Structure 1
Amino acid sequence: MSFRSIIQDLRDELGSISRKGFELKMGHGLRSRSHRVVHDALGPPLVGALRQSCWANMPPELLRDVLVRIEEGEGSWPVRKDVVACAGVCRSWRDTMKEIVMTPELSGKLTYPISLKQPGPRDFPLQCFIRRNQSTQTYHLYLGLTQALAADGKFLLAARKCRRPTCTEYLISLDADDKSRGGGTYIGKLRSNFLGTKFTVYDAQPPHAGATVSRSQLTRIIGPKQVSPRVPAGNYPAAHIAYELNVLGSRGPRRMHCVMDSIPASAIEPGGMAPTQTEFLHNSLDSFPSVPFFRSKSYRTGSLSGSVSGLKEEMLVLKNKAPRWHEQLQCWCLNFRGRVTVASVKNFQLVASEENGSSNQEEEKVILQFGKVGKDLFTMDYCYPISAFQAFAICLSSFDTKIACE
């Protein structure tokens, strides 16, 4: 049998798997094509039925060759869903695919949900965009599939704004519809102070070895009763964001800096490594019980605890790149390389701060840029060493009203 025939038979059998896997409802369900979550979850009954499939008995050498060609040939969404479907066929396929699929840092691809918690590519930024719905106070992050700024993209994350008496919180979820903290797809949150000048990004699971939870979340109160939560999510500080007082009022640009609690300053140095989460906690995301998330081959030998050592060293500090005043346009300008088209006080670029002792080249490298392209449309481009989750949370802080800055 030729390789082309094998691929054709494989596509015929995986066609229904791919559709079911990516239209699988999570929580309350996904109601639109654009709001599908990047995931590799297949229901237990479906996995059980396929476990005895004839494809499970393929010779290991042939299986790896087939899966390698599928992974290499489907580098972008939406066709990359077949890579995810392959991981749900059976255990042998799953194990092989975990060896093949690499982290975003090495491959530049977002494949599974855990990819959103891993550092972005080193050589180029991943181009994403955020859609804001002001009536519902919700924000949706998409991966750009084309160079067009207003084109549809692949849904990645969603956030919902919650106003409190003393602060504002943004709950971040893998599900476009279920953005509650008790939902099975909750992965973290952003919390502000009263003035909206300081923010803390909290991860629902330890972002690195040795991370400490900021407050016990063993129980929650529902009405008069106290019950155990379905999702034992913690509050692990991942980053602190601060906006400085703007003495120029509304005419001047914002000044901000971010202390990345979960990333050491050495990560941006040659040969440095950023913490890389390899899987979600087993008890935290019960929507993904059947298919374990991948672990890059390059990270199997060096575990998270061994490479980071609890992050006792100096933490990475990011600051906004100072804009320059354009005399002819009479405004502050930054070079967004065509990715931002509307002037806004929310626009920013983050680079490594000189506090980390970084070189001039590292200080000029834009790690995260965020800018406005429409009334409720914003671009978000990020790269190593921060993750999509961290970048999204930082950008959410720019949406919040800042009484002392404007």
Structure 2
Amino acid sequence: MMNREMPRVLRRVIFAGLLALAGCAGRPEGVLVPSGETPAGVSTVDLLVATTRAPSQQPGVLFSGERGSELVMRDIKVSIPPDGKRKVGQVQWPEKLPADPMKNFSTVSVTPIDSAQKGRAWLDGHLPKSRRVLVFVHGFNNRYEDAVYRFAQIVHDSKTDAAPVIFTWPSRASIFDYSYDKESTNYSRDALEELLRAAVDTPEVGEITIMAHSMGTWLAVETLRQMAIRDGRVPKKIQQVILASPDLDVDVFGQQLRAIGTDRPQFTLFVSRDDRALTLSRRISGNVDRLGQIDPSQEPYRSMLEKQGIIVLDLTALKSGDSLNHGKFAESPEVVRLIGNRLIAGQTVTDSEVGLGDRLGAVALGTAQTVGSVASIAVSTPIAVFDPVTRKNYNDHWLRFGQSVEDTAVTATGQ
């Protein structure tokens, strides 16, 4: 029997989505017309943009939401207003064109890259000393320019030490085209594999991080699964996979991991139980939990995540300006800095300033006062990190004294 609450939930989420779209309705079209200007004080981000979208005939739009016949690349430079004139985590869209680069994001240049050789040359010329590459895959309901400007914001705000590459697949940018967008991710798997293999085969590239958002996580994980089946494993250069608000059926994700195998990159998840966009996705996808909405502290997910060695950052308590709570990973200053300072660098997040590792380290000092104060921090801190390795080490420490993590938490909080 149909859940009588379902229509109400759907109406609420769709209404919130329409409000979000309405907020974008006033944006001028054609923001990718290059200005060639970089006034003193602005920052610039140079992106390699690869797409399976069909070209647009409209100047400054470049690519539509329809499907193209091949992988096409552009070198796009975006200018970003001075830090004192913008909030970290936000994209300042121009209200009119041409954009004022001192107040808005602005396109400086757009350069075609018409061969794989030129693409490898771009990577070679933009690699930092770390020799890292960051490949970003956007999510559902994104126009080409949405993806470009959002990724430019992430790269700038995270101060990532990696060559930034974005893969943008054909999205019609409408909440009513969910099925079309999902099929477009399937359509784009071979092209994303082509892009990743080109990066892997570039000798100068040392390691690769893949970061995907929302429906783009399906495309990213499916592509890795495809590569693993083809080659027996994911290429070793692909070392980190970050899935933000993953719009993935949890059962399907488990099957994907099994196909990828145990010799795989480190997976990190950003989840939030108040993600309203994923509530809609869950309702229209058979009412099966979405990976981005799970509670990692509860079974059966806790055991599954620990067994698979997956790190989870729970952002549920984190507030953002996103009415759908679907883009916290990009809009939160703390999270984007965490991405740039630690995750892309392949470092554990358990000993970061916002991570559970600091709290566990303090607890392990062993004084009752420290345990109590740390437990209160654990309740109030908006970013909770669930890491199986640190959790095991901490459990081992306390079990030597006859006390487990759960017992310590109960003792400390008085519950």
TM over 0.5: no
Larger proportion of helix: 2
The structure with the greater share of residues assigned to strand is: 1
Name the TM tier (shorter chain): under 0.3
TM-score, normalising length from structure 2?
0.25
Higher relative contact order (CA 8 A, sep 6+): 1
